[in-house]
Amino acid sequence: MAALITATATLRTSHRVATYQTLIGLLAVTGMRVGEAIALDRDDFDVDHGVLTVRHGKFGKSRELPLHPSAVTAVDQYLHRNDRPRPAARTSALLVSTAGTRLLVCNVQYTFRTVVRRAGLKPHSAACRPRLHDVRHRFAVCTFLDAYRQGQDPDARLSLLSTYLGHVDPKNTYWYLSAAPELLQLAGDRLQRHLGGAS
């Protein structure tokens, strides 16, 4: 993730750099869908309580996402940058383009591919290329890895994670976690300890 954030510095204009650093950072620390992030309005960010309200989630569901204080500071600083385009005052969007309008998914995807290339990230295969949605998967996997490493109950964490991601059914969250070798190893180790303790 650090390589992606660093590579955004190669984009034109300081405002564009700040916008993509903020976008990628928010995706990394919240697990939001890309469409949810670019649909955020300034009023969806509560700096006093450190919460983002996702109003345009999948299936029309809304949810509140508490933010780490460092993320609150980053978003607040982004909103108060001197280089924020003047036309941005006419839009309610939190994240704005250099034209001062809400970001478009097609432009975000294109810019992300540029940043990935400049970061030197390579696809695993022609069918497995880095995508913005992978940031969401990474958030889910890292959250579960933390639960295992801290000795917490993964099942309890799954329920919270599913709600945080805006999944209607926890089985959708399981799908995010099923192809992570690190998680499979930790789950296997936990099972082995359990079986060993039961014998």
Active site residue 68: no
C-alpha gyration radius of the chain = 18
Give the DSSP H or E segment for 34.
Answer: helix 34-38
Active site residue 33: yes
Active site residue 148: no
Q: Please state, in angstroms and rounded to a whole number, the distance separating the CA atoms of residues 195 and 199.
A: 6
Q: Which of 16, 42, 55, 58 is catalytic?
A: 58
Q: Please state, in angstroms and rounded to a whole number, the distance separating the CA atoms of residues 30 and 45.
A: 13
Q: Please state, in angstroms and rounded to a whole number, the distance separating the CA atoms of residues 51 and 67.
A: 6
User: Nearest 5 degrees, angle CA 176-CA 180-CA 182?
Assistant: 140
Active site residue 12: no
Q: Which of 61, 117, 129, 133 is catalytic?
A: 133
Q: Which of 20, 136, 148, 164 is catalytic?
A: 136
- On whether the CB atoms of residues 68 and 76 are closer than 8 A, the answer is no
Active site residue 58: yes
Q: Which of 15, 20, 33, 148 is catalytic?
A: 33
Residues with a catalytic annotation lie at 33, 58, 133, 136, 167, 176
